[in-house]
């Protein structure tokens, strides 16, 4: 079907010319050169990347933040604020009625088919909470209609996406356009987030202690997940998955290293059906018992399951009449023109002008855009609709309004614009509206009005929305306190899943570091004078690089066949795969790291993705510089975390993972070099350079390269930071400080597991070894060396498994430890 997309007929900029704030922006804009504007635009995007939520782990850009804000004057804002507050009250009342007495159905305000055919109406949620507890958070998508009026075309209630993005955008502007911020006075966002924080962490009756609050998210590492992590970190609440929680004694509990901790409130960012596998979708990623804990008033949930009914669009045609019925007053903020196709007249109207409407199928929850269908597809659609017209809602597509945007061509161009407003309802039924919004722009208005339940898609550009004010208020979430505060040195709770991610973050970071060091040592060998010997030595190091990340042995592979998989972006054993795993674990615990760490991680990501498509192995200078940069950045990550993270279990698990990986891979490297071949001088020198021990070796042994002192230095010498003995000493120190565990679910006593025993065995193996027995008189490795290295690797893997079973999996440890 070929149609012309309705273009915006209202320009926001025409209204702005009357505002002194816009005149200040125009003046500032004209004072900037073209290069300065480009630099500021790039700096804005850089700020988003530093926050860690503008890119996903696979290095894809998620959105662009426009350099020009969207201005809302005080008169416009008062109308929007009042209208949204009324709508929030109304929608809460509608949900309380539909999941309660259903007066709206009995009085035919809303047809019963619209509710009972709706996949988003969940019967298990009937009577789930009291009348005032249905809608704590609400987001509304708002745009201008053909008359230039703001109207609501979508309500988001089950997981109001974009709240974290609003915060990110404002912080990015504050850190980038300081001069502009000082010239334009605008309302700050911190007050809204402070109210949200207080709502979630409000102490229980009779208690002065803040309650444990959590943000429940999904397990996919998409841009929405990173927004959730950013928001949880800002609000100082735990970021949890369904697997982190358990239902016991009528309550929801968080599994932590210190045991089970009662959860008081949850900010839910899971779809309704995914929240409780016991009562809702069985294959969901939520927590069984979540609904029951809400019913028993043991858990406050913002928002409880069942609220997705609003997002289906089923209520849009009946909002105005429901407002008059429930609140006894007219609707202040208009709703988009929407029709229920169960009425013959409404269906005929939609058929006459299908390009002006978007259809929502209530049973499948699918969205259909007639303007994008061919004539045959449109005919098929009407046949399907005619079979069950009461299952379809038609929503008119708005023309929206125009905003000037800094385009990819680095020019100002008009684009269609819409914004998402957010409101909060506290326990006293007071409604707070966020004095800002999530602005979105696109050349096609249709793109801003489809897939509405989603967060940001890549084709959307973002706008920071400024609500103009007479003066600027405080912009900090941490207000100064006049009351006395009790000092604390507690580190807070560490969920088992978080400890797991930190442990593997340490392991993958060290693995990437070791492989890059081995590559840096191997590449110069390819251009040595003795090419045959150089290639043989390089092949040993390259084999180690692949084996370190789980690749099968390939002893007869050529150098080229070994190098290509390492640099292939699609190889699961290559460098890019290790980086993806590193970032996956880092993003999963992003709330534990400061801005400097994310800055370095962004640089590290960029360095790895800057590999040439086909590196020139014979001219490796550029590649060696990149490897130098990666190793330097990883060293910076070690240093920053050790300088900034408190000496708590969070750093302890990451440190344990790093030293365990270094010990394990060093044993594997020594076995490959000394037990599977007879190394020459060039390979021995490369090994020392790889381990940063060349200077130490020369000071002790001058210029003579000898296998025995090299193995002693890298295996048995506890004073060498890269030796296996040093790693085992650190591991013993760290595991002794791990929290005690229950041996079984019926055992209330807390005791240490066998991690200390395994770490002690590792150290004993090394201390009892006589170095002279590891090589014979011909300087060939003896079977004792191979046996020692294999035993060390076995114990290190057992230690890793034991830590996993004790602290991450929470299995019955008494039975599991019999395997060791």
DSSP state string for 383-448: HHHHHSGGGEEEEEPP--EEEEEE-TTSSEEEEEEEEEEEEEE-TTS-EEE-SS-EEEEESSGGGG
Q: In this model, does residue 609 exceed pLDDT 80?
A: no
- Please measure the distance between the N-terminal and C-terminal CA atoms of the chain and give it in whole angstroms: 68
| % of the chain exceeding 90 in pLDDT | 50
Greatest C-alpha distance within the chain:
100
- State how far the Cα of 631 lies from the Cα of 620, in Å rounded to an integer: 16
- State how far the Cα of 497 lies from the Cα of 230, in Å rounded to an integer: 18
Q: Give the pLDDT confidence score for residue 8 in this predicted structure.
A: 61
Query: Comparing C-alpha atoms, which of 185, 301, 200, 192 is closest to residue 245?
Result: 301
Cβ-contact 92, 341 below 8 angstroms: no
Query: Comparing C-alpha atoms, which of 128, 114, 24 is closest to residue 310?
Result: 114
Q: Please tell me whether residue 462 adopts helix, strand or coil conformation.
A: strand
For the packed helices 681-690 and 694-701, what is the interaxial angle rounded to 10 degrees?
A: 120
Residue 690 CA from chain centroid, whole number:
34
Q: Lowest-confidence range among 151-155, 202-206, 561-565?
A: 202-206
Tally: H helices and E strands in the chain: 29, 22
Q: Give the pLDDT confidence score for residue 744 in this predicted structure.
A: 41
**Residue 105 burial by Cβ neighbours in a 10 Å radius (0-12, 13-18, 19+):** middle
Q: In this model, does residue 311 exceed pLDDT 70?
A: yes
The 10 Å CB-count burial string (b at 16+, else e) for 281-308 is eeebbbbbbbbbbbbeebbbbbbbbbbb
β-strand pairing of 70-72 with 461-467: parallel
- State how far the Cα of 416 lies from the Cα of 443, in Å rounded to an integer: 6
The residue ranking higher by pLDDT, 207 or 497, is 497
Cβ-contact 600, 512 below 8 angstroms: no
Mean pLDDT of 501-527: 92
Q: Give the pLDDT confidence score for residue 336 in this predicted structure.
A: 95
Query: Comparing C-alpha atoms, which of 336, 370, 366 is closest to residue 351?
Result: 370
**Residue 493 burial by Cβ neighbours in a 10 Å radius (0-12, 13-18, 19+):** middle
Q: In this model, does residue 125 exceed pLDDT 60?
A: yes
Confidence class of residue 321 from pLDDT cuts 50, 70 and 90? very high
Query: Comparing C-alpha atoms, which of 162, 302, 141 is closest to residue 231?
Result: 162
Q: In this model, does residue 274 exceed pLDDT 50?
A: yes
Q: In this model, does residue 225 exceed pLDDT 90?
A: no
pLDDT digits (tens, 9 = 90+) for 671-701: 999 998 889 999 999 999 999 999 999 999 8
Query: Comparing C-alpha atoms, which of 45, 53, 64, 46 is closest to residue 221?
Result: 53
- State how far the Cα of 314 lies from the Cα of 324, in Å rounded to an integer: 18
Q: In this model, does residue 439 exceed pLDDT 60?
A: yes
Q: Please tell me whether residue 328 adopts helix, strand or coil conformation.
A: coil
Query: Comparing C-alpha atoms, which of 65, 16, 53 is closest to residue 463?
Result: 65
Q: Give the pLDDT confidence score for residue 770 in this predicted structure.
A: 94
Element spanning 742, H or E: strand 741-742
The percent helix, strand, coil of the chain (3-state, each to 5) is 50, 15, 35
Query: Comparing C-alpha atoms, which of 331, 404, 406 is closest to residue 150?
Result: 331
Q: In this model, does residue 264 exceed pLDDT 60?
A: yes
β-strand pairing of 213-216 with 238-240: parallel
β-strand pairing of 357-361 with 251-256: unpaired
């Amino acid at each position: 079907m070929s149609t012309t997309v309705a273009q915006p007929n209202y320009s926001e900029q025409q209204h702005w010319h009357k505002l002194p704030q816009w005149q200040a922006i125009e003046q500032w804009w004209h004072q900037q050169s073209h290069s300065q504007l480009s630099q500021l635009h790039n700096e804005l995007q850089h700020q988003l990347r530093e926050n860690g939520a503008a890119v996903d782990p696979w290095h894809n850009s998620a959105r662009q933040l426009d350099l020009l804000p969207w201005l809302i004057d005080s008169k416009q804002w008062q109308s929007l604020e009042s209208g949204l507050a009324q709508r929030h009250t109304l929608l809460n009342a509608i949900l309380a009625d539909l999941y309660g007495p259903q007066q709206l159905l009995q009085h035919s305000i809303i047809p019963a088919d619209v509710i009972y055919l709706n996949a988003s109406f969940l019967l298990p949620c009937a009577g789930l909470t009291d009348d005032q507890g249905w809608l704590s958070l609400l987001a509304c998508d708002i745009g201008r209609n053909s008359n230039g009026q703001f109207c609501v075309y979508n309500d988001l209630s089950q997981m109001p996406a974009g709240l974290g993005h609003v915060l990110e955008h404002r912080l990015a502007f504050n850190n980038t356009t300081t001069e502009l911020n000082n010239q334009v006075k605008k309302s700050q966002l911190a007050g809204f987030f402070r109210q949200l924080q207080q709502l979630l962490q409000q102490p229980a009756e009779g208690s002065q202690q803040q309650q444990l609050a959590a943000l429940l998210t999904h397990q996919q590492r998409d841009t929405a997940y990173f927004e959730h992590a950013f928001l949880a970190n800002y609000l100082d609440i735990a970021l949890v998955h369904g697997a982190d929680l358990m239902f016991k004694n009528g309550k929801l509990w968080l599994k932590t290293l210190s045991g089970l901790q009662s959860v008081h409130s949850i900010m839910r960012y899971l779809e309704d059906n995914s929240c409780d596998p016991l009562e809702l979708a069985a294959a969901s990623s939520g927590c069984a018992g979540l609904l029951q804990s809400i019913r028993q008033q043991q858990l406050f949930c913002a928002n409880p399951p069942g609220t997705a009914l609003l997002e289906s669009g089923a209520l849009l045609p009946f909002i105005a009449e429901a407002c008059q019925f429930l609140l006894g007053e007219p609707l202040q903020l208009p709703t988009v023109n929407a029709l229920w196709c169960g009425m013959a007249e409404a269906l005929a109207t939609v058929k006459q002008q299908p390009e002006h409407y978007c259809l929502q199928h209530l049973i499948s929850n699918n969205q259909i855009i007639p303007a994008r269908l061919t004539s045959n597809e449109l005919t098929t659609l009407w046949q399907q609709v005619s079979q069950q017209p009461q299952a379809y809602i038609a929503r008119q597509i708005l023309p929206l309004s125009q905003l000037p945007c800094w385009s990819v061509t680095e020019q100002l161009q008009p684009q269609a614009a819409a914004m998402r407003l957010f409101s909060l309802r506290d326990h006293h039924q007071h409604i707070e509206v966020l004095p800002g919004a999530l602005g979105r722009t696109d050349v096609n208005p249709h793109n801003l009005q489809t897939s509405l339940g989603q967060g940001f898609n890549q084709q959307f550009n973002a706008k920071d929305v400024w609500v103009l004010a007479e003066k600027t208020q405080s912009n900090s979430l941490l207000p100064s306190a006049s009351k006395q505060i009790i000092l604390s040195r507690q580190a807070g709770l560490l969920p088992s899943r978080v400890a797991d991610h930190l442990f593997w973050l340490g392991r993958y970071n060290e693995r990437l570091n070791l492989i890059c060091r081995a590559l840096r040592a191997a590449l110069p060998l390819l251009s040595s004078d003795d090419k045959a010997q150089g290639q043989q030595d390089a092949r040993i190091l390259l084999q180690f690089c692949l084996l370190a990340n789980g690749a099968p042995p390939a002893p007869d592979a050529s150098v080229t066949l070994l190098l290509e998989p390492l640099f292939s972006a699609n190889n699961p054993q290559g460098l890019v795969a290790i980086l993806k795993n590193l970032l996956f674990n880092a993003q999963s615990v992003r709330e534990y790291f400061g801005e400097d760490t994310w800055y370095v991680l962004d640089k590290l990501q960029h360095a790895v993705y800057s590999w040439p498509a086909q590196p020139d192995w014979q001219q490796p200078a550029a590649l060696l510089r990149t490897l130098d940069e990666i190793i330097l950045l990883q060293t910076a990550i070690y240093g920053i975390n050790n300088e900034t993270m408190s000496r708590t279990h969070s750093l302890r698990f990451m440190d344990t993972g790093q030293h365990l990986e270094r010990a394990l891979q060093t044993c594997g490297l020594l076995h490959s070099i000394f037990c599977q071949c007879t190394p020459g001088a060039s390979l021995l020198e490369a090994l020392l350079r790889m381990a940063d021990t060349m200077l130490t070796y020369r000071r002790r042994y001058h210029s003579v390269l000898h296998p025995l002192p090299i193995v002693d230095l890298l295996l048995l010498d506890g004073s060498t930071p890269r030796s296996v003995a040093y790693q085992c000493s650190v591991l013993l120190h760290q595991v002794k400080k791990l929290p005690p565990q229950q041996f079984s679910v019926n055992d209330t006593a807390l005791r240490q597991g066998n991690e200390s025993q395994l770490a002690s065995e590792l150290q004993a193996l090394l201390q009892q070894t006589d170095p002279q027995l590891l090589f014979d008189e011909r300087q060939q490795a003896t079977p004792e060396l191979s046996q020692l290295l294999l035993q060390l690797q076995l114990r290190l893997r057992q230690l890793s498994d034991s830590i996993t079973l004790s602290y991450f999996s929470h299995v019955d440890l008494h039975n599991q430890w019999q395997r060791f």
